[in-house]
Amino acid sequence: MNNYVYEYGGKLYLNITNRCSNCCTFCIRKGREGIGGNTLWIDREPTFEDMKAALQAFDLEKYGEVVFCGFGEPVFNLETLIETGKYLRQMGKKVRLDTNGHGNLIHKRDIVPQLAQAVDDVSISLNASSAAKYQQHCFSQFGEEAYYAVLDFARECLKHIGRVILTKVDEGDEEENAACERIARQLGAGFRLRKKI
């Protein structure tokens, strides 16, 4: 069974792809089947119709926010993301996208105006204070170009989407954590240090 929608820690999450353009050393997918007892490997990416059907199994009234975050980078399944996000917002739900920030590189165009119709908040994984460090941790298929694309993506999101937060996985390097926070603040975004799961 494909878990396109799952609950974790009292929040509702949407798992719409297993594809990703990174291969992060700290990725939660490594050696795991899923999160909180939910298997998140899927054998087919969902369409919008699949998402509507999967959402019916949940009482949406219980959740203040719905988050695109699963075992992969959600923007790979962009059509489903946009349609599902719009649908949830029409129902009065707040929608957040957790992303690695490669959307414009992956689709070779600016997808942010489209995203702005489907999500209220964006959380972007910054994860490093330089392109070289990013590549050491994230092994992007785009090479060091990925890091600059993440920063550009954040700038575009700040223009078009309400709340933008850059995040970093805490690997115990306080200097690097502080450097990442400075970059986020300089851009005008929020910052959150994430615990390694």
Site residues (vs ligand SF4, CB under 6 A): 20, 22-24, 27, 29, 72-73, 100, 125, 138
64: its two tokens: 């203040």
Q: Tell me whether residue 21 or residue 93 sits nearer to ligand SF4 (CB atom).
A: 21
**What whole-number distance in Å separates Cα of residue 18 and Cα of residue 77?**
9
8 Å CB contact between 8 and 36: yes
Give the nearest distance from C-beta 87 to ligand SF4 in angstroms. 24
CA 83 from centre of chain: 16
Between strands 94-99 and 121-125, the pairing is parallel
In sequence order, the 6+-apart residues with CB closer than 8 A to the CB of 108 are none
Q: Tell me whether residue 51 or residue 69 sits nearer to ligand SF4 (CB atom).
A: 69
Give the nearest distance from C-beta 129 to ligand SF4 in angstroms. 17
Give the nearest distance from C-beta 72 to ligand SF4 in angstroms. 6
Q: Tell me whether residue 27 or residue 179 sits nearer to ligand SF4 (CB atom).
A: 27
Give the nearest distance from C-beta 24 to ligand SF4 in angstroms. 3
Q: Tell me whether residue 20 or residue 118 sits nearer to ligand SF4 (CB atom).
A: 20
Give the nearest distance from C-beta 56 to ligand SF4 in angstroms. 27
CA 149 from centre of chain: 15
Neighbours of 48 (CB within 10 A): 18
| Listed residue (131, 132, 112, 130) closest to 122, CA to CA | 112
Q: Tell me whether residue 16 or residue 20 sits nearer to ligand SF4 (CB atom).
A: 20
**What whole-number distance in Å separates Cα of residue 195 and Cα of residue 172?**
10
